Structure 1
Amino acid sequence: MQTSGQSLISSNDVNGTNVYSPAGDKLGHIDHLMIDKVSGKVTYAVMGFGGFLGMGEDHYPIPWGKLRYDITQDGYVTDLTQEQLEGAPARDADWYRNRDWEERTHRHYGVHPYWM
């Protein structure tokens, strides 16, 4: 989907962008992106939600394929529910280096793995 005549966006502009349910309810915001070093593809948007003024906020890596940009909301929309986010596979400090975790996460969210 294009906006302002171009479809490219800086990762700086993606960070902080709100994430909504299809009904328009705010689920959280994008804290940062994870990018595959070899292919250059965005693999995950790490979504922050909950907490107050950044304290106590939870972070959940969402496969990039589960988000679509909606120009009317100036944010990303996902069909994921709060329960799916909270029920996602547990992660540790090295979750992004653990292919088993990635496989379980992609199955949990019902999205094709980016590396296949």
Structure 2
Amino acid sequence: MNTVFIDAGRLRTELVLERLRPVADGIGGYTETWEEFATLWGRIEPVSDTARYFGAQPLEEITHRITVRFRDDIASGMRLRKGGRHFMILTVHDPDESGRYSLCRVREEGR
């Protein structure tokens, strides 16, 4: 398998990796709380944007590709945060199976 060239010097965006921690609400349900798990350096690249309509309300979706150094504890369902921006991780994979980098396909939330 060919090695994918990724310039490590371009990983200059500081990101916070967060995981969901459900907290019991005392009546059988829970509230969602995100806890900071790690701080990473990465590169954010926009991939696509779409707008669909649900009735008269537009539902916009913006996806990105975020490259970070390889970690085996990143999984879909977690999210990355940059300041006030939140990126829900949809998929994670090692582009050349070398254990050097992880590519995360993410959906930006709250925009």
Higher relative contact order (CA 8 A, sep 6+): 2
Higher helix residue share: 1
Give TM-score, length-normalised by structure 1. 0.26
Give TM-score, length-normalised by structure 2. 0.26
Higher strand residue share: 2
